Structure 1
């Protein structure tokens, strides 16, 4: 019998999002109840008790809106309805009711920088240059030689402009050609988008994850982007080794100053409803933290943001410290949401492991580290099982980005394969039919029912670690300070009120020792799940991939 999750020490319910643990559900791959091989909302309802048993505070649902599914739902054709493949609005309402019963908040994706080319707005916009929605999208004339208006590139490869033979103009698309960008310089577009947001607020959703939140506005003058040589801080889909997108400095096609005022409008709407939140996805290369600072400052824009900083291959003390300290230095009054995995990147177990036999140890340590960082944290479905990235054949791919850049880049399908629920059952209990992506045999052995039987499983570690986190106020929203080290270990304190906790993590494959600096003395070692480090007379001793949590005197 699974123990009920520990209760949080957070005192202010309006700030429930600060320090919250958010579990991302990718609906296509979570649970199929209709027998078509695709997950659905009724499947989410069926599995909500499992999510609640993890001890998380909220779920984040990737898009479930009406869509032709060219980009797996990130191409929306109706912002105010559920795609039939996922169910109905009645199903959504039932899911909301069950989530509330279980004490879970619900955050939904809002993909508003662009729509599908099948959206009624775009269908009307392209009919002429003088219809009521003619300027709801970004249209521009060709250059005299017929080429695109400027040099802007699409994240998904090639120019960010597509010729339309009806209007005899180009339209802008930061992503697929079937995902035209909305023109946020038009106030009517902003109003329509906010009306869609209000539709979901009125249905009781607790917050929004804002996809590509810095892509809403473009430069009105359509100036060319200058060239850019990516540095070590650039991350995400614009990896220049497979895509020329990263060869530009994106000064004019995104992250425009006008976005600030729109985010204020968005926040003003949310503030009319109690206890709502926003988390923005910022993909801005080396400028990401400056953008996060601008979007979260002052308490009148976004509540929190996340970047791609911890979504790369580097799992070292120096990298994690650099990311966190950079955030603390540049984002003075904002809040961050940390994650190691999501639906767009290779699963972190595969990114971080050096040898297959250390997979469980890395999965457990990564969770321990993530749970101790200052900020909210986001978990991606299946990471609590230690799932590695699936190795798929080209013919199995569904991700347009992966298909476009194969074989240099295998795309994002490897992290989107179905959730594995039952070890010995066909399709691991995900579906009674052939699923939209294969269920890897390697994943079958890691199914939920198999891990439920072991107190030493990765799943058990996640539950125990989240329970530990909830019982310590310093880990919810306390201060964080790094201690000087030789970079072999990651050392920091978390403190709030009278509670002052020390964390020392060894992310390396050999034992490590650490001497506490003067002024720091261990009062007692706390039984943080999975950590076996010891402390004696100011000396911390750690095994490989190990750590320690101690209360300081």
Structure 2
């Protein structure tokens, strides 16, 4: 959630968390299957419609699992698919235990888990932990004047005259009880009560984290996770993971909560995994998450990799005016801080990100950018359609609270038919209109083109899975990273060293490699024309415009 990211990011670099790990129980290593994992994010509304009503559904996703298997992905992250009034596209949950009828049934989700497992694909659900819909039965009971089980499951002020809460949105005068409630994002999303790390003694409505209400909410969150784990879910992506406990300026209480959950998972579900929407991996990973996303809202270096940032061209832009070093300055300390504990998750984009990965890029640009994402350490996430370079159309429509994010959520483009193969419904009945561009990319065309981004993604994933040096925990060392040079880095493990060289610019570039990098006897694993010049002390590498090469060095 965009607004929430900005609120909790301010606590990112405060030092209060640093001592927690030493005093807590030792965490188990991440599940082994994450080491070579490649995830694919599916927005269920717009991926594949099996029943012709114009809205994607779970049976449609099941029908497309062979495609995902052939692509090589080993995991799916599914955006919220639970019962909801859909005022925020499902991030306003009204029943955490039941699939929304527009997507199917719980039996359909169970079938998705089973068929995905048969194909070697893990399925992660989206856990909206910070809030519910205002239509949720818990909230309907909580807002009543008479005290009941749910009275303290949400954050209520002492009376309707309490209009201000620092850094929080207060919704006024809508409840039966004489109180206002705190909302996470939209007013229809009342915040669940995980308590206050430092309650204000002048505000008795601010409860401690060990008060009965917060403890009950925490127990129920665990029940929700257990329910879906037992049905077959492989894990959860946790929405707004860093913002559960309020007035938690150093993040200690929120981190301790997730540490408790991780220790529970280590005991009862050691093969399950969590990835956080936190974008502070040096905090999130040591305190319980197996993975943490880098997000463009809080990481300016990562924001500059694929997209223009603050008027400055992206690193992967033909102009070549933003150095790769801008990203490394941010990335390398985070990598060192999380080494051996878990993984950063780099992604092509997500449902909140515009413009999309494909905007402003042709097929060659996309291939080079994918070569980067799929050869970096950590766990990569591909947003649906980014493997073919889908673009954000110039829409101004707001669909289910998407506003400016809506263009990133258009139907998947499976073929060149008027409905793009998404649904048998008339296009005017689609959840969202498809990209109207006559040259919009599609899966069918790219599967038959050996030079297409889709086929490149298949190769890169296969390469990543075949070469342990390219996997999540392989060593990473940047070799060249300045303007006018190719982007060059080394991935390595005990058995091999793989050199990755990228040139996203519109001109040929040359760079000198460190003296210890010997290119004699190297084997090209994938890539286009390049020139290696073994030299007496320093070898040189030349790359033509918009190109890449991936080389296995002789041991």
TM-score (norm 1): 0.82
Q: CA deviation at 1:301?
A: 1.2
Contact 1:311 1:348 (C-alpha < 8 Å) held by counterparts = no
Q: Which residue of 2 aligns with 1:500?
A: 497
Contact 1:525 1:549 (C-alpha < 8 Å) held by counterparts = no
> Is it true that 1:442 corresponds to 2:437 in the alignment?
yes
> Is it true that 1:372 corresponds to 2:365 in the alignment?
no
Write the deviation string for residues 123-179 of structure 1: whole angstroms up to 9, x where unpaired. Answer: 110002632211110111358xx46222425xxxxx454443422212111211000
Contact 1:420 1:443 (C-alpha < 8 Å) held by counterparts = no
Matches of 1:35 and 1:18 in 2, distance apart? 38
Contact 1:490 1:506 (C-alpha < 8 Å) held by counterparts = yes
Q: Which runs of 5+ in 1 are unaligned?
A: 1-11, 154-158, 220-250, 283-287, 403-410
> Is it true that 1:51 corresponds to 2:54 in the alignment?
no
> Is it true that 1:149 corresponds to 2:149 in the alignment?
no
Matches of 1:260 and 1:527 in 2, distance apart? 44
Write the deviation string for residues 7-32 of structure 1: whole angstroms up to 9, x where unpaired. Answer: xxxxx993111341001111000011
Write the deviation string for residues 36-82 of structure 1: whole angstroms up to 9, x where unpaired. Answer: 21100010011111111100111111110011111000110111110
How does 1:102-117 map onto structure 2 within 5 Å?
Answer: 102-117=119-134
Matches of 1:543 and 1:102 in 2, distance apart? 39
Matches of 1:431 and 1:176 in 2, distance apart? 34
Change (3 A) 1:525 1:487: farther
> Is it true that 1:258 corresponds to 2:253 in the alignment?
yes
Matches of 1:276 and 1:549 in 2, distance apart? 32
Matches of 2:43 and 2:418 in 1, distance apart? 21
Q: Which residue of 2 aligns with 1:3?
A: none
Q: Which runs of 5+ in 2 are unaligned?
A: 1-28, 196-213, 309-313, 316-323
Q: Which residue of 1 aligns with 2:425?
A: 432
Q: Which residue of 1 aligns with 2:541?
A: 540
Q: Which residue of 1 aligns with 2:225?
A: 197
Matches of 1:435 and 1:136 in 2, distance apart? 37
Of the structure 1 ranges 62-71 and 443-452, higher mean CA displacement relative to structure 2 is found in: 443-452
Pick one of 275, 281, 287 that aligns with 1:279.
275
Moved over 6 A (4+): none
Q: CA deviation at 1:486?
A: 3.3
Q: CA deviation at 1:544?
A: 1.5
Contact 1:511 1:541 (C-alpha < 8 Å) held by counterparts = yes
Contact 1:210 1:281 (C-alpha < 8 Å) held by counterparts = yes
Pick one of 176, 181, 189 that aligns with 1:179.
189
Contact 2:42 2:76 (C-alpha < 8 Å) held by counterparts = yes
Of the structure 1 ranges 310-319 and 70-79, higher mean CA displacement relative to structure 2 is found in: 310-319
Q: CA deviation at 1:347?
A: 4.3
Write the deviation string for residues 74-105 of structure 1: whole angstroms up to 9, x where unpaired. Answer: 11011111000000011111111111111111
Q: CA deviation at 1:117?
A: 0.5
Q: Could you say what secondary structure the match of 2:152 adopts? A: coil
Write the deviation string for residues 504-551 of structure 1: whole angstroms up to 9, x where unpaired. Answer: 222222110011121211134544444332212211001112222223
> Is it true that 1:453 corresponds to 2:451 in the alignment?
no
Q: Which residue of 1 aligns with 2:174?
A: 164
> Is it true that 1:128 corresponds to 2:128 in the alignment?
no
Write the deviation string for residues 232-271 of structure 1: whole angstroms up to 9, x where unpaired. Answer: xxxxxxxxxxxxxxxxxxx75xx73211222123213322
Q: CA deviation at 1:501?
A: 1.5
Matches of 2:330 and 2:389 in 1, distance apart? 24
Matches of 2:102 and 2:405 in 1, distance apart? 21
Q: Could you say what secondary structure the match of 1:338 adopts? A: strand
Write the deviation string for residues 326-346 of structure 1: whole angstroms up to 9, x where unpaired. Answer: 322443534211112111101
Pick one of 450, 463, 466 that aligns with 2:461.
466
Matches of 1:210 and 1:459 in 2, distance apart? 29
Change (3 A) 1:13 1:167: closer
Contact 2:130 2:191 (C-alpha < 8 Å) held by counterparts = yes
Q: Could you say what secondary structure the match of 2:520 adopts? A: strand
Q: CA deviation at 1:275?
A: 1.4
Contact 1:512 1:542 (C-alpha < 8 Å) held by counterparts = yes
Change (3 A) 1:135 1:214: same
Q: CA deviation at 1:443?
A: 7.1
Matches of 1:84 and 1:269 in 2, distance apart? 32
Contact 2:527 2:549 (C-alpha < 8 Å) held by counterparts = no
TM-score (norm 2): 0.82
Q: Which residue of 2 aligns with 1:321?
A: 328
Q: CA deviation at 1:217?
A: 1.0
Q: Which residue of 1 aligns with 2:345?
A: 337
> Is it true that 1:413 corresponds to 2:402 in the alignment?
no
Change (3 A) 1:547 1:337: same
Change (3 A) 1:444 1:509: closer
Contact 2:52 2:423 (C-alpha < 8 Å) held by counterparts = no
Write the deviation string for residues 311-360 of structure 1: whole angstroms up to 9, x where unpaired. Answer: 55253212332332132244353421111211110144356x3xxxx521
Pick one of 510, 513, 521 that aligns with 1:513.
510
> Is it true that 1:303 corresponds to 2:314 in the alignment?
no
Pick one of 209, 212, 231 that aligns with 2:237.
209
Q: Could you say what secondary structure the match of 2:232 adopts? A: coil
How does 1:2-13 map onto structure 2 within 5 Å?
Answer: none
CA RMSD of aligned residues (A): 2.2
Change (3 A) 1:502 1:167: same
